[in-house]
Amino acid sequence: MSRAVSIIGEVEQALHDASSDKRMSVLRRVTDLFVGEAENFNEDQTALFDGVLGQLVSHIESRAAVELSQRLAPIANAPLQTVRHLAAHDDIAVSGPILEKSERLTDDDLVTIAKSKSQAHLAKIANRARLNEVVTEVLVDHGDSEVANTLAINTGAQFSKIGMAKLVMRADGDDRLAESIGRRSDIPAHVYRQLLAQATDVVRGKLLAAAPADRQDAIRKIMSDISDQVTPKTSVMHHYAAAQRAMSVFAQDTELTKRKIVEFANIKQVPEVAVGLSILSGTAVEHIDHLFRAGNGFGLMVLCRSLTLDWQTTYAVIMASRAAKILGDSDTDDLREQYAALTVPSAQRVVRFWQGRQKVAKHVVQTAPG
């Protein structure tokens, strides 16, 4: 450690030196010294290096910060404050190596960065060798399609029940994401059913082909059940035409619309309930019809939560759907727990993903030739 102490004077001189080359030279010497003996340093000794590097890191050019990040990222006991400073850097070339590899970052560090930095930062986090549930849930909430897909193919990423379910809901209309999720070994059976229900025939075929032989018959049975539920879009819209006329009377009164949803849910009048939810959320009625036919209730729970409907109303809506014939008591308890755990902003982000894909799909149809 005597070499580290002797170099502190050089650090002070370098900070007052106008030459960036001099600062970089001193930084490299300090880094070489630390990296060469890192496994032998205790926390107090590492903290000394943290103080020295901390003084230098705020006064160096990006190219030097990139080099420092790359060298410290694999070090298990790297100087903590220096690592945090580099991880929060706006330049992904600087922050990327730390975000992807450094074991010094805590879940709280990763969550804070995921909520405040760019999608490039989130993509690096999503690619870490190990990710805990609290981090993956934030990434599912805030990440774009690239981040979501990186998470889905990361076998070291752990998901809570609600985190996995939200990831599956995000895969509606995203074939690549649906296929990536479908290849995971940790997806619960009822969530896998939801994934197949919303997947395209192409994705279903790929997932069936990739499944182990002992699971293929069960998958074929699910796919057969799903096929029986499919209704052409023109039939869906005809089915809802009368309900749209009836509910349009209340469309300008949000509270009245919510009360009508409860009334119609309690007597199992699905078209009016679906149209009411469509009016409040701005989600296409054919998509909501799909949620009513899904059989697991999760999509409807997310939609209701996004509209700040209480659990009693949400439960009535779910019980008016096909899920009422399939869900057992334990499944309903799971939904209630997930409803309580799901924040309104998180649910609203999922709904915005649906709506964004609806706009894209509509644009594709409108601009398709002939």
Residue 339 is predicted with a pLDDT of 93
- Report helix, strand and coil shares of the chain as percent, to nearest 5: 75, 0, 25
Residue 311 lies in a domain: yes
Q: What is the pLDDT of residue 79?
A: 94
CA-nearest of 194, 196, 181 to 296 is: 194
Q: Tell me the sheet residues that pair with 131.
A: 157
Which pLDDT score is estimated for 192? 85
Look at residue 33 and tell me if it is in a domain: yes
Residue where a domain stops, chosen among 105, 124, 154:
105
Got the DSSP string for 232-283?
Answer: -HHHHHHHHHHHHHHHGGGTT-HHHHHHHHHHHHHTT-HHHHHHHHHHHH--
Q: What is the pLDDT of residues 21-39, one digit of tens each?
A: 777 787 888 888 888 888 8
Counted residue by residue, the chain has a size of 370
Where does a domain end: 105, 120, 153? 105
Give the model's pLDDT for residue 233.
47
pLDDT at 3: 54
Q: Does residue 137 form part of some domain?
A: no
Q: Is residue 72 part of a domain?
A: yes
Cα 147 to chain centroid distance, Å, stands at: 7
Determine the structural domain holding residue 89 and report its residue range: 1-105
Looking at the structure of the chain, the number of domains it has is 2
Residue 142: inside a domain: no
Low-confidence stretches of the chain (pLDDT beneath 70)? 1-19, 226-238, 358-370
- What is the Cα–Cα distance from 105 to 99, expressed in whole angstroms? 8
Last residue of one domain, picked from the residues 87, 105, 123: 105
Residues in contact with 364: Cβ distance below 8 Å, sequence separation at least 6, in sequence order: none
Tell whether 170 is covered by a domain. no
Beta-carbon contacts of residue 98 (< 8 Å; ≥ 6 apart)? 69, 72, 73, 83, 86, 87, 105
Domain-embedded: residue 117: no
- Would you say 299 and 255 are in contact if contact means Cβ atoms under 8 Å apart? no
Would residue 319 count as lying in a domain? Answer: yes
Any idea which residue has 């809802």 for tokens?
A: 240
Q: What pLDDT was estimated at residue 156?
A: 97
Residue 229: its pLDDT value, please?
Answer: 55
Q: Which two tokens stand for residue 184?
A: 């995971």
Predicted confidence at residue 210, as pLDDT, reads 86
